[in-house]
Chain A
Amino acid sequence: MALYLAIKEVWRNKGRFSLIASVVALITVLVLFIAALAEGLASANREYIEKLNGELLVFQEGTQLSTTASRIGRSSIAELRRVEGVSAVGQVGFSSAKLLPPDGGDEINISLIGVEPGLPGEPTVFAGQQLERARSNNVIVDEGVIARIGAQVGDLIRIKVNRGTTEEFYNLNVVGLTDRRQYFFQPAVFAPMITWDKMRPESSGQSGTELVSNVAVVKARDPGALEPLIQRIDQEVKDVEAADRQTAWEAIPGYAAQQSTLSTQQFFTFFIGVLVVGGFFQIQTLQKVAQIGMLKAIGLSNWTVGWTALLQIVAVNAIGVAIGAAGTLALTSNFPVTVPISLTGTTALTSVGALLAIGPLGGIVSVIALLRIEPLRALGMAQ
């Protein structure tokens, strides 16, 4: 009975219910878009660290886990390798450079990342080969670079680095391609550590005698017991502090502030959605008081009346969410690669799940109102 009444009412009032489904669809687009933007920006910030083939990152002590401020020398690396539970350690250095497209277009900002061949920090390639030699002009490029300049294995790419007031140009051989590993919103080019050290802009605090990186990536023997390992590293290696990957990317400047801003926006959009859906169904309930009173008077139970309303709310909301989700998917899949929008399965499913809940959440007040309608009062027969 509830299903019958719910379907009949929605079907015979298509205009009214389409309107609220459209509003839900627009809210869905907005929520998914913000979620995709949050995910895209987060990925653009942390992708490399998130996908590292090591569990811990080691920073210079007192630098508040800042990759740009931190300096780790070879002596610290040697000490790290002696810590019990450490399987392998690789140095990783970060700097910025500009990639000159072969067709002469606009320069592209890239993250130039120095890694040690064969050690944690070096990304795994899906085409070509790993960086095998420590001293070479060979590089691995990520999908961000591939998407922008169409780089292939065997190509020669040209980058520009500002050293003080002068510009220096380097020609590098692409030997491997890896998946998206952006860092700090820029596509990544991975060079052997020694090569990177030669190309990077020199800093005033740089040691002249040892190879200095920004961080060290540690692969643990037991990835399930990271906390004791972090404590051992902090105790046994001088002037360093270790952190797991998530702690490290959350410490990226601006990351937490950006994500909390987007989460707030998302929350308020949900909240607006709940109010809009709730308001619509509440108005509808007020318009139907006499009708519901009559239905209860002729024998429809509260259960049937409540289910009818709930089914309508869930169905109309689900239709709106489906339309909105399909629209967002179509929209985001056509964005250029440079736009930081990433609608991953998890993001989409979580958001869609939450959006499906806004209908029942918003409509709960109207369902309660329906259940409280007294037939006598609704029919004007009450004293």
Chain B
Amino acid sequence: MAVLNVNGKSLQANADPRTPLLWVLRDTLGLTGTKYGCGIAQCGACTVHIDGVATRSCQVPLNSVGGKKIITVEGLAENGKLNKIQQAWLDLDVPQCGYCQSGMIMAATALLAAKPQPSDSDIDAAMTNICRCGTYKQVREAIHAAAKA
């Protein structure tokens, strides 16, 4: 039984210690906002923050995250108030199907924390998530909008 710190709560997770954090979040803890896309750290749909760093949770075994601070997309809003990135996403109507957007939002939130005024090339470097609907143009606009907010 592992004890995880997820979204500020201490949660018990009964799973094989080698299980990727992605599947612990989704199947064991019921936090399905973090998505499975590829399982090989290519697509970024499973991005969460581990001690503030945007991390692809499909590659992180459960036994490596004890004591670390994990934030998922469910933990970004505070008392129902969306964070700056989420709000910009809402204002600019960014998502289409939305499946990749949890990962996009986690990556963008970490980017703004590290670089409050990112350039287009900063955005290109940080936002390597795959979106098949093709929201890239709106994602870029929303990151710039959030940086100004």
**B is a partner of A:** no
